[in-house]
């Protein structure tokens, strides 16, 4: 059967509406009102009278952590983006806390989390690399989603295989491949985890008008799954739900033909690889 993510994107709620969107297991309806899957309303203009170096009055700002609240505010003010739908994004954030995610959300900064860090290193993060009170909560998806911000998941393809269903399963069960449970208080529900790999990811990239859900008018890019993710035990998601096919622009991708085409290209020689690397080097 085909994946059935037809629900509208629960886009960014107003401050009064912010909360944790939840999926009712019986009716599959969100208990929090969704925002329509339509282009975002025109953002309010930034206040030109706000001094560049003056952060707005918010909660006290600890000096530690990855999200440097004051610096982000200065950058947003400098580029006249404070209060707009800018969708600046922080990525990885494996060790970030709930209060740091809340500060990011208050600035309209998107949060993209790395489940692969939990999957492949969660067992050593918890108690070996860090004290258990820190390591067991690595990748605090629950805390991030409670801010009401649209959270996405991602992989670093060069260091971990991008397997979205494994990311989803791990963030819902909070179990690593060894079966060990780490930080169950940071678990999320299946629907929120699926949104993080579909509609929320498209929202972060400002592609929610084209991608992220099976909706009339959007690009016909989707996958066919062997089973309904909502109908299988969550700890069996990876084993029982397989990708049977991929459609791009309304056409099924012929994987065998694609791989044959790739094989026709000669490997890049060492000298050419060095030249390419020199041309593309950065940082």
What pLDDT shows up at residue 14?
38
Average predicted confidence (pLDDT) for the chain:
77
Classify residue 239: in a domain, yes or no.
Answer: no
Token duo for residue 266: 């000669």
Classify residue 89: in a domain, yes or no.
Answer: yes
What pLDDT shows up at residue 191?
97
Threshold 0.75, pTM exceeds: no
Classify residue 59: in a domain, yes or no.
Answer: no
Classify residue 252: in a domain, yes or no.
Answer: no
Domain residues for the domain of 186 are 69-219
Q: Which of 112, 236, 113, 117 is nearest to 182 (CA)?
A: 117
Classify residue 267: in a domain, yes or no.
Answer: no
What pLDDT shows up at residue 23?
32
Compute the distance between CA of residue 235 and CA of residue 220 in angstroms, rounded to an integer. 30
What pLDDT shows up at residue 235?
96
What pLDDT shows up at residue 48?
42
* Residues paired with 251 in a beta bridge: 248
Q: Is the dihedral of CA 42, 147, 99, 163 positive or negative?
A: negative
What pLDDT shows up at residue 62?
44
Number of domains in the chain: 1
Report the CATH number that the domain containing residue 85 is assigned in CATH: 3.20.20.140
Classify residue 15: in a domain, yes or no.
Answer: no
Low-confidence residues of the chain: pLDDT under 70: 1-70, 267-283
């Amino acid at each position: 059967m085909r994946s059935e993510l037809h629900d509208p994107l629960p886009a960014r709620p107003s401050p009064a509406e912010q909360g944790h969107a939840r999926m009712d297991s019986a009716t599959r309806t969100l208990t929090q009102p969704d925002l329509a899957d339509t282009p975002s309303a025109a953002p309010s203009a930034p206040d030109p009278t706000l001094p560049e170096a003056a952060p707005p009055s918010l909660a006290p700002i600890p000096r530690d952590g990855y999200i440097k609240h004051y610096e982000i505010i200065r950058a947003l003010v400098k580029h006249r983006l404070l209060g707009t739908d800018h969708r600046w994004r922080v990525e990885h954030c494996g060790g970030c806390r709930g209060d740091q995610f809340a500060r990011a959300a208050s600035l309209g900064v998107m949060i993209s989390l790395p489940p692969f860090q939990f999957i492949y290193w969660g067992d050593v993060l918890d108690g070996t690399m860090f004290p258990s009170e820190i390591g067991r909560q690595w990748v605090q998806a629950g805390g991030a989603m409670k801010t009401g911000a649209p959270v996405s998941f991602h992989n670093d393809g060069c260091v971990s295989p991008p397997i979205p269903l494994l990311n989803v399963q791990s963030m819902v069960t909070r179990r690593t491949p060894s079966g060990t449970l780490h930080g169950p208080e940071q678990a999320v529900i299946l629907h929120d985890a699926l949104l993080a790999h579909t509609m929320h990811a498209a929202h972060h990239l400002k592609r929610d008008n084209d991608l992220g859900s099976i909706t009339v008018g959007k690009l016909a890019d989707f996958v066919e799954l062997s089973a309904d993710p909502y109908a299988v035990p969550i700890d069996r998601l990876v084993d029982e739900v397989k990708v049977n096919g991929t459609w791009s622009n309304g056409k099924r991708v012929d994987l065998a033909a694609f791989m044959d085409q790739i094989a026709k290209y000669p490997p890049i020689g060492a000298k050419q690889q060095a030249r390419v690397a020199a041309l593309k080097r950065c940082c």
